[in-house]
Amino acid sequence: MPYRYAPYFVGFVLLVIMTGFWASYFGASEAIPLAFHVHAISSMTWLVLLIVQQVVVQRRAIALHRWMGRASFVLFPFLIFGFVMIINLTAGNYAAGKGPVTMALGPSFGIGMGIAIAAYLTLFYCALKYRRNVKLHAGYMLATPMILFESPFSRVMLDYLPWMNVIGSDFPQAILDTILISDLMVAAFALVLWAMNRKHGSPWLVAAGFTAFQGVVMWFAPFVPAITAGFAAYAALPQAVTLALGIAAGGAAAWMGWEAGKPKRKAAALPA
């Protein structure tokens, strides 16, 4: 089984999430919006699923691994649903003019989450499409935590490692500094993994592309009026519609990936 140390990598991402969101979520005393609970539960359950899947397949429990893979068909749309809930919460606060940070960076957060959703849809689709190739399948699944990394690590950087912000913008743009740096760190790590095994390295190239793109777009978003106008237009959409579209997108990626990964049927030979 490739990536024998994968459970430790995913566990590290979980640790970063706990650290980065301790003050604002895990250790918070005030009421937390439902969207954060859904996003936290779905995202962390996804990471735990990845760890357990790697462990059971390394122990040759293939049947259990496949059963858990089928369970991901239910979990994945829920994961996308959680992302959309966060976008909707941010969009609602932006439309209501709540908070200077939201008003300054809300469009950046919104488009960043949109790019993250696109990355998840792409990676999960490819993981299912190439499920008969163990290295590609594992790579695409294990690339998904990279998309999560920037959000908690940027908070770790702001709270505990401010010296890492070598860009040095004024607040609140400094928040986007840390997101960009976190994304570029992930992209660099992904490119190292790609260089170590280029034959089966496409998952890491995809992850590197999405994370670098996300960081750059988010950093420049406050200076692009079209992004601000687009996020304001999104905020006017009914939340039920966007949530339904999120679930549908997650389900479609799962179904399309599964269908694409089915073995090709050989055409029947024509009679002489």
- pLDDT tens digits, the chain, 272 residues: what are they? 457 888 899 999 999 999 999 988 888 888 899 999 999 999 999 999 999 888 877 777 677 777 777 888 889 999 999 999 999 999 999 999 888 999 999 999 999 999 999 999 999 999 999 988 989 999 999 999 999 999 999 999 999 999 999 999 999 999 999 999 999 999 999 999 999 988 899 999 999 999 999 999 999 999 999 999 999 999 999 999 999 999 999 999 999 999 998 887 765 555 55
Give the pLDDT score at 124.
96
- Contact present, 190 and 211 (Cβ < 8 Å): yes
- Tell me what pLDDT residue 1 has: 44
- Specify the pLDDT at position 70: 82
R_g over Cα of the chain: 20
Residues 6+ apart with CB under 8 A from 9: 3, 142, 145
Q: Do 214 and 183 touch, CB atoms closer than 8 A?
A: yes
Distance CA 3, CA 131 (A): 15
pLDDT at residue 162, as a whole number: 93
Residue type for 223, please?
A: F
In the prediction, which pLDDT does 58 show?
73
Phi–psi pair at 238, nearest 5 degrees: -65, 135
Per DSSP, helices labelled H in the chain are 6-20, 34-58, 62-95, 100-129, 134-159, 173-196, 202-220, 225-235, 239-260
Q: What is the DSSP letter of 200?
A: G
- Give the residue from 258, 253, 261 showing the smallest Cα distance to 122: 253
